Amino acid sequence: MIVKDVVCPFCGCLCDDIEVEVEGDRVVSVCNACELGTTKLMGEKRMKGPILRDGDGWREITYDEAIRYAADMLLSAERPLLYGWSGTHGEAQCVGVHMAELVRGVIDNTSSVCHGPSILAIQEVGHPGCTLGVVKNRADLVIYWGSNPIDAHPRHLSRYTYYADGFFLENAFRDRKVIVVDIRKTETANIADEFVQIKPGGDYAVLSALRALVRGKGETIPRTVSGVTREQLIRVADLCKGAKFGAVYFGLGLTMTPGKYKNIRNAIELVSELSRHTKFTISAMRGHYNVYGSNEVNTWMTGYPFGIDYSRGIAFYNPGETTAVDILARKECDAALIVGSDPAAHFPRRCLDHLADIPVVQLDPYPNATTAFCNVQIPVAVTGIDAEGTAYRMDGVPIRTRKVLSTDYPSDEEILSRMYALMQEERER
């Protein structure tokens, strides 16, 4: 059977034009997706059922037992951490928020280790952005800053920017200019009309210089700024001002380098400044397919996009304090529920040391690096393959992922709802 218009549950591009061929309970071929998406849709070897750590080994347990274990763990904790959420659907994320509220824990998602700084910047100066189709149809200038879509978001260029068909561009491919700004010549830099190579840690200064140039106040700018010549800066500023529609897409190369959210703030303020001259927008290249959804869900339910601490009943938000990496590194939690992410693969050693010391339950279809730190792991259906639900694309467009095959695995939402029901019962007693 061939399923059309499938939504790819890999990266923030959330491509929804995938064709998948299914035989029985297996995906046998994938069309239109990039390599990353194809690999995810084809699946790997999944865990069969829930497992409980038993001495040095594992013991199989039932879903009921696993859910009970997690509920008890969260109820007895003084400061439980509920982390992950980017790799699951919105409906499950909503239950997660209710759980955090009930047990007075901390709920955080993976943006605290990717675009958290971008969110902090937006909270300072706002965000002039747009949906991806606006860029596709209009942009004659696209800037990739500290992002390398060819590697991380392979279809971004073909679906939304460089190679995409655009209503207002006669020959989109020829009419669009691309500027790449990075510390090294990436693969994306090879297709750029202008490549700006910045010394590591020098983005902020370059952005300040561009803002001054756009204002026509470039006289204080030295001969080179962070390795970029004054001449090139002037050329870039002129390209920006001369564009009919410019779009900046930035990645972790700008977000996670020295200055962090101040880099993003500076980039946003450059775009706001350019908006006085022409049309300009800026957007983050979000990683996980539904990390933006997790921000959205948290925001309408708690008021904050990530790093929410319910210890005191009301929502308290302070990234750097209430975010998973900080809490784990400071040993400030005493239990962890991990959903839809693999922190052990990304977190610093100090965090993992604490994860090893506290009880951990993980919901994940596959054995992963975090499995080694778990007391219990509960396998679930994969959203976009054998579970459906809402995901938010990197530009905020919500799309319902499709279920392309049926399995016996319960979805994240189902497991979490059962856990939450047990917890509510316990608390009401």
Partner 1 sequence: MSELLIRNACVIDPLKGINAETMDIAIRDGKIVEDVSSAAEVIDARGALTLPGGIDSHTHICGTKVNFGRYMSPEDMRAGRTSRCGPMHATSGYSVPTTYGNSYRYSAMGYTTLLEGAMAPLEARHTHEEFLYTPLQDTMANTLFDGNWGIMEAIRDGDTRRVAAIIAWTLQAVKGFGVKLTNPGGTEAWQWGKNVSCIRDPVPYFEVTPAEIITSVVEANEMLDLPHSVHIHANNLGTPGNYTCTLGTLGLIPDLNPKRQTLYATHIQFHAYGGSGWKDFCSKSEPIVRFVNMRPQIVIDMGQVMFGRTTTMTADGPMEFNLYRLHHEKWSNHDVELETGSGIIPVLYRRKNLVNSIMWAIGLELALLTESPWQCLLTTDNPNGAPFVKYPEIIALLMSKKYRDAEFATIHPDTESRVPLPAIERELDWYEIAVMTRAGQAKALGIQDRGKGHLGLGAEADVAIYPIRIDETDPSVDYERVIEAFSRTEYTIKRGRVVSRKGKCLVDGNNATFWVRPEVSDDYDMEKDPDFIEKFDRYYTVRMRNYPVQEEYLNRNRCIETEAEI
Partner 2 sequence: MRVTLAMKPAARSFIPIEAESIIPKNLLSGTDISVWRGNRELRLDEVFSVSVEGEADRPEDVEVVISGDGTFRLKRVGEYMDGGKITILGDIGMHCGNFMSGGTIEIHGSADGWLGREMAGGSIICRGDAADYCASGYRGGRKGMTGGTVEVFGRAGVFLAENIAGGVVTVHGDAGDMPGAEMRSGTLIIHGDCGRPAANMKGGSCYVYGTAHGMIPTFRKIGTIQHDGQMLIHFTGDIANRGKGNLFVKDYRYLE
Site residues for partner 2 per CB under 8 A: 77-79, 103-105, 120, 123-125, 199, 201-202, 204-205, 207-209, 211-212, 215, 217, 219-227, 258-259, 262, 265-266, 269, 310-312, 317-321, 330-334
Among all chains, which residue has been given the structure tokens 């049926």?
406
Q: How many CB atoms lie within 10 A of CB 19?
A: 14
131 binds, among partner 1, partner 2, none (CB under 5 to 8 A by kind): partner 1
Cα of first residue to Cα of last residue in the chain, in angstroms, is: 49
Among the candidate windows 53-61, 181-189, 225-233, 298-306, which touches partner 1 by CB under 8 A? 298-306
Looking at the Cβ atoms of 10 and 250, the one nearer to partner 2 is 250
Counting beta carbons within 10 angstroms of the beta carbon of residue 346, is it exposed (0 to 12), middle (13 to 18) or buried (19 or more)? middle
Q: How many residues bind partner 1 (CB under 8 A)?
A: 63
Among candidate residues 142, 58, 91, the one with its CA nearest the CA of residue 290:
91
21 binds, among partner 1, partner 2, none (CB under 5 to 8 A by kind): none
Instruction: Give one DSSP letter per residue of 92-121, joined into a string.
Output: HHHHHHHHHHHHT-EEEEGGGGTTHHHHHH
d(CA 372, CA 53): 9
Looking at the Cβ atoms of 185 and 244, the one nearer to partner 1 is 244
Instruction: Give one DSSP letter per residue of 34-71, joined into a string.
Output: -HHHHHHHH--PPP-S-EEEETTEEEE--HHHHHHHHH
Alpha carbon 5 to chain centroid distance? 22
Q: Considering the complex, what minimum distance in angstroms separates the CB of residue 272 from partner 2? A: 11
Per-residue interface string for the shown chain with partner 1, residues 17-36, x marking contact by CB under 8 A: x-------------------
Looking at the Cβ atoms of 37 and 116, the one nearer to partner 2 is 116
Question: At residue 66, what are phi and psi to the nearest 5 degrees?
Answer: -65, -40
Per-residue interface string for the shown chain with partner 1, residues 185-224, x marking contact by CB under 8 A: ----------------------------------------
Q: Considering the complex, what minimum distance in angstroms separates the CB of residue 41 from partner 2? A: 38
339, β-bridge pairs: 84, 363
232 binds, among partner 2, partner 1, none (CB under 5 to 8 A by kind): none
Is 132 a binder of partner 1 (CB under 8 A)? Answer: yes
- Angle made by CA atoms 124, 129, 134, in degrees to the nearest 5: 180
Among the candidate windows 116-124, 192-200, 230-238, 343-351, which touches partner 1 by CB under 8 A? 116-124
Among candidate residues 135, 200, 65, the one with its CA nearest the CA of residue 394:
135
Nearest-10 crossing angle of helices 230-242, 203-214 = 60
398, β-bridge pairs: 392
Looking at the Cβ atoms of 55 and 216, the one nearer to partner 2 is 216
Beta strand 80-84 with 106-109 is parallel
Q: Considering the complex, what minimum distance in angstroms separates the CB of residue 207 from partner 2? A: 8
Q: Considering the complex, what minimum distance in angstroms separates the CB of residue 276 from partner 2? A: 12
Out of 109, 112, 118, 295, the residue judged to bind partner 1 by CB under 8 A: 295
Q: How many CB atoms lie within 10 A of CB 59?
A: 12
What lies within 8 Å, CB to CB, of 6 at 6+ separation is: 16, 18, 19, 20, 41, 384, 402, 404
Is 403 a binder of partner 1 (CB under 8 A)? Answer: no
65 binds, among partner 1, partner 2, none (CB under 5 to 8 A by kind): none
Binding site for partner 1 (CB under 8 A): 4-5, 7, 16-17, 90, 94, 98, 101-102, 119, 122-134, 136-138, 159-160, 165, 167-168, 244-245, 272, 275-276, 278-281, 295-296, 299-305, 310, 312-315, 317, 390, 392, 396-400
